[in-house]
Amino acid sequence: MIIRSAFSRWFLTLCVPCVALLVVGRQVYLSMHYGLSAWKGGGMGMFAAADELSNRYAKVFLVQSDGNRDPLVQLTPDDFDVLNRALEYPTRENFRRAAKQIASENWIPAFQRRPLLKVNGKGEPMHAEEKAFRVMVASPLQPEKPETNGIEIQFWKLTYDPHTRHMHGSLAETFVFSPDELFRPRATRNNS
């Protein structure tokens, strides 16, 4: 192909670098204002911050219609995939997508209840508390009443202080999604 015009030559030479600069600028902006991980999204910040899945985690709860909350830990690989995506870019919309995926499973309580374990500041288990949660498992069977449970996702961040050698978990945000938000189509929600 013969490209004669000087403008075309310059345009073709510069187009990829210009796109790269725009993507880097966007990544830095989203990282600063919307919590996008420094490792992802097209910047150059890999190994620039302890700020990715090893430092970000979620605690997911199934919220029953009576207000009871049961933690969900036995998530499927698909659930983890969409949840990790939300952890990398923690917007409400991304967490809603994750909640929708998790809520689509048929969660049923296992027989035993699991007590809350008290852990001291050295990371040693001390004793079981009176409070206990039901252990929920995803059943392959179809749910009988599918649309009554909401989902709560707590988004946590871990920070490490090298001077005191303390690892601190802090709750960054809590997202609560009602059954209405999870199961009814958006258009129907907007009309009502």
Footprint (CB under 8 A) of other proteins, residues 35-94:
36-51, 54-55, 57, 59-61, 71, 73, 84-85, 88-89, 94
Shortest distance (Å) from residue 7 CB to other proteins: 14
Which of residues 50 and 104 has its CB atom nearest to other proteins in the complex?
50
* 182: nearest Cα among 81, 90, 76, 93: 93
CA distances from 100 to 53, 106, 113, 172 (A): 21, 12, 25, 21
Which of residues 54 and 190 has its CB atom nearest to other proteins in the complex?
54
What end-to-end distance do the CA atoms of the chain give, in Å?
58
Which of residues 12 and 110 has its CB atom nearest to other proteins in the complex?
12
Residues 104, 114, 138, 176: which binds other proteins (CB under 8 A)? Answer: 114
Residue with tokens 């969409």: 82
Which of residues 88 and 105 has its CB atom nearest to other proteins in the complex?
88
Shortest distance (Å) from residue 106 CB to other proteins: 20
Shortest distance (Å) from residue 99 CB to other proteins: 15
Contact segment (CB under 8 A) with other proteins among 30-38, 96-104, 138-146, 174-182 equals 30-38
Shortest distance (Å) from residue 186 CB to other proteins: 21
Please name the residues in contact with 56: beta carbons below 8 A apart, sequence gap of 6 or more: 37, 87, 88, 90, 155, 156, 157, 158
Cβ proximity of 112 and 127 under 8 Å:
no
Residues 5, 7, 17, 66: which binds other proteins (CB under 8 A)? Answer: 17
Which of residues 107 and 183 has its CB atom nearest to other proteins in the complex?
107
CA distances from 45 to 64, 71, 89, 107, 114 (A): 41, 34, 15, 39, 41
Q: Per CB under 8 A, which of residues 147..186 are in contact with other proteins?
A: 156, 158-170
Which of residues 40 and 183 has its CB atom nearest to other proteins in the complex?
40
DSSP 131-172: EEEEEEEEESSPPSSTTS-EEEEEEEEEEEETTTTEEEEEEE
